[in-house]
Amino acid sequence: MENKGPKTTELKSLQSKTNNTGADPKMTSVKKDNLCEHDVKKLENTCPQSYPRKSVETSTKHVNLPQTGNPCKWEAEGPCRDQPSDIEPVKGARSGDQFKNANIDQMHKTGKQVHRGSEENSDNWTHRKSSSGRSVKMANTKHPSKDTETEGKVTSCNLQQLKSCNPVHVVCVTSEQDEVDVVPESPLSDVCSDTCASDIGGPGKLNKYQSSSGDSHAFEKESEPESPMDVDNAKNSCQGSEADEETSPFLDEQEDVDTSKAASKSSRFQRGNADPELRRSPFSSKCCEGARYNFYFEGTDDSVKEDELHTKSYGISPALSSECKGAKHCGKKDSKITAHFTRIPRTEEKSRKEPCEFKHQRPGRKIPKYIPPSLPTNKKWFGTPIEEMRRMPMCGARLPHLRPSTNHTVTIRVDLLRAGEVPKPFPTHYKDLWDNKHVKMPCSEQNLYPVEDENGDRTAGSRFELIQTALLNKFTSSHDLKEAILRYNVAYAKKWDFTALTDFCDKVLEDAESQHLFQSILPDMVKLALCLPSICTQPIPLLKQKMNHSITMSQEQIASFLANAFFCTFPRRNAKMKSEYSSYPDINFNRLFEGRSPRKPEKLKTLFCYFRRVTEKKPTGLVTFTRQSLQDLPDWERSHKKLTRLHVTYEGTIESNGRGMLQVDFANRFVGGGVTGAGLVQEEIRFLINPELIVSRLITEVLDHNECLIITGTEQYSEYTGYAETYRWARSHEDDTPRDEWQRCCTEIVAIDAFHFRRFLDQFVPEKIRRELNKAYCGFARPAVPPQHLSAIATGNWGCGAFGGDSRLKALIQILAAAEAGRDVVYFTFGDAELMRDIYSMHTFLTEKGQTVGDVYRLLLRYYNEECRSCSTPGPDVKLYPFIYNTLESYADSTDEDEKGLCFDD
């Protein structure tokens, strides 16, 4: 009661400050940042003194009241939901460019929590609003206004929230996005056609998404894990792509614990499925932005610090403010792949953003004091300039003469290999092998099918003859194509669904495009598929586990394989469980034709673009598929290798900016992930724009822990925009990548699969760290190639999506594996500028301290023993990078100046 007077005075002071802010619409974002930073520092200094543990508990009890809801009633407020606004977006505290590629997956999750809290307590809000007698202003999207009006309303709204001690109120402010009408290119033609430029949702057509480089639709929902096969627990397989940004069970579990830890039982948010309509609302990201401004004002006065503690007791982390800084960009069209990769676990985010959060500290615990030097916030990259990194073919050694061997299958005439000429197949005549070591070909004489004769007796006939008969019939509609495919797949006539293919042909394509598809492209694809016996004359070995083997084939042969995959002609590859190919990915495209997913039309556009290109002009290059299985793995603890050079940036993509480098595919154990299904993230997108990668699914058995797949020479045929739900085929791409002596494009892609962690702490277990190090090393190492001839590695947040990896740990693991393999690293953080600075600071710190790979590995082991082994919370109190900084600094202070390196006894 003694502090009541001062708090009232401070609240009035805050009201005065807030009103001044609303009256000055030209207040820059820099001022707001300074204000926020100033108050955060005040909070850091004040919290431990003013709010001991006992007072925090009292504060939590004090807040245990009916939870107030969101003044924006999503269901009732029609103008707020449906009508676009002319209001300009509220200016953020940081520039738009800096968050252009920011991750938005967590924004939807956070927004969903706010909606849920708002809806559950809307009645309480109404009652509290009427009883308090205070009116809460809301930015109404129905009436166009200027920036002054918008900021004034936001300020007013936040002031009222502070008066009523309401922890989070979301202000709905939307903006009408500019749209540029550009006639998109057709995947079925090189010429832009006006008929392709119909509006989205036009009459009689499915969504005709604009493929221009303008804005993209909001990321409406998180993608569902898609797999080439259903999840087989017996094989511990998770059949979506590693980079898939779906909702992870690990993340859900982590958020549950965080919420229960911070909230009282009566005021904790209840987790449940949000209304799909609300998740698709264009206001979701804007509401996050409104919450961000609310947090800014909450931090402007000491009297509000208690409210911030109340906010935590409701289970709402102030980390929402930092997450929502980039939220306004999640509503932009054509969001890049860079917009969705980074998913920072909630416990880590809270640790970095909430320095004043009260946590149980072990007795005698030293708080890390070392802070790395601050870095400029306006730089887009750090480290070695990317121009100085080694690329192929400039850095590569001269290739030996191409010839077949016991560990290298070559399916063309090497003596007739000429630049610009279609390679000739070897041998001249078709040779068939029908066994468990080779691909069972559709044209094999052993590919038999039960047929009925004139008397009704069933006999075994040639399935390939039936395929020829079915496909040589003229196609005039999608129904004809469906009937043709089912003629030689009778067992699946009632199981396979062709809805996506039918809708694409009948509702997505314009009449002229559909006519061109059925009259030109599909007949050419049929010819390409049926020419398999004359194009692919040699048995293709399967790349089984524990094999070190390479297969080099021509791009024309690959095109014939893919045409057969499209028409679902490969035998024995459709059964799901306990079949001879159950340890191989899908290859037939039947799952691509099913369902009504909006992803399917865009995937079909991308693939038809490829088929049109290769049927109009035969490709002339070669592609090599290499399965690498390493038995001699490094002794990480005793490694004396020094760290190599690093270039880290938050802009760009692996395929565009990593040309000539070893490009990492964040793969699934079943390579390709959900490319033939509904999956559409990093791995699937790469397999779509470089469709020759899909043939790896025909020959590659599921990867083991010490194995990887290296594909050299694939060509890019398409360009795209967006990612997952926002993915759009954009245009045809002419790949001008130089070729090597074997006529392969100098594009080397390595598929390495990260481990799937369902608990955040599991990845710090020494066995799991060694597994990830060995997997990355297997992908990066080339034992027979000198380091000076190895290109840099172009990689990013490997395994940090649905597979639950910590981006900072994974970056360190890849840096160590690259150093052991003798390669430099070009790291793309995919829009996360903070992660970029953290990785660079850590790499610089370790390099300046002279740390070796073994030194850093022992630090990781020590971190597990001291911080993770006995941790009872979802995440440790001290994060990995602060632990490394503090440990090395403490060690340096306790040793002689001439002692170098680091040795720990674990």
Q: Which of the residues are catalytic?
A: 665, 683-684
Rounded distance between C-alpha atoms, residue 764 and residue 782, angstroms: 27
> Which residues does residue 707 pair with via DSSP β-bridges, in sequence order?
629
DSSP 682-715: HHHHHHHHSGGGGGHHHHBPPP-TTEEEEEE---
**How big is the chain, counted in residues?**
906
| Pairing mode of beta strands 793-795, 718-721 | unpaired
Rounded distance between C-alpha atoms, residue 611 and residue 806, angstroms: 39
Quick one: three-class SS letters along 361-423? CCCCCCCCCCCCCCCCCCCCEEECCHHHCCCCCCCCCCCCCCCCECCEEECECHHHCCCCCCC
Instruction: Give the alpha-carbon dihedral of 59, 60, 61, 64, to 10 degrees.
Output: 120
User: Under the phi-then-psi rule, with left for phi > 0, alpha for psi from -120 to 50, and beta for the rest, what region is 639?
Assistant: beta
In this structure, are residues 261 and 873 in contact, taking their beta carbons and an 8 Å threshold?
yes
Residue whose tokens read 């166009």:
144
Quick one: three-class SS letters along 726-776? HCEEEEECCCCCCECCCCCECCEEEEEECCCCCCHHHHHCHHHHHHHHHHH
Residue whose tokens read 């079915």:
470
In this structure, are residues 345 and 875 in contact, taking their beta carbons and an 8 Å threshold?
yes
In this structure, are residues 178 and 215 in contact, taking their beta carbons and an 8 Å threshold?
yes
* 419 HSE (CA, 13 A, CB side): 5
Rounded distance between C-alpha atoms, residue 686 and residue 672, angstroms: 9
> Which residues does residue 381 pair with via DSSP β-bridges, in sequence order?
649
Angle, alpha carbons 277-282-287 (nearest 5°): 100
DSSP 192-245: --GGG-PPTT-TTS------SSS------SPPPP--SS---GGGT---S-TT--
Rounded distance between C-alpha atoms, residue 721 and residue 688, angstroms: 13
In this structure, are residues 238 and 668 in contact, taking their beta carbons and an 8 Å threshold?
yes
Q: What's the DSSP call for residue 491?
A: G
| Cβ burial, residue 533 (10 Å; 0-12/13-18/19+) | middle
| Pairing mode of beta strands 549-554, 408-410 | parallel
| Residue spans of beta strands (DSSP E) within 442-561 | 448-452, 458-462, 549-554
- Single-letter amino acid, residue 866: E
What backbone phi and psi angles, to 5 degrees, belong to 457?
A: -80, 140
In this structure, are residues 79 and 304 in contact, taking their beta carbons and an 8 Å threshold?
no
Q: Where are the alpha helices (DSSP H) in 265-304?
A: 276-279, 284-298
Pull the structure tokens for residue 494: 């009632």
Query: Which helix (H) or strand (E) element contains residue 622?
Result: strand 622-629
Rounded distance between C-alpha atoms, residue 479 and residue 25, angstroms: 61
Rounded distance between C-alpha atoms, residue 632 and residue 458, angstroms: 54
Rounded distance between C-alpha atoms, residue 607 and residue 556, angstroms: 16
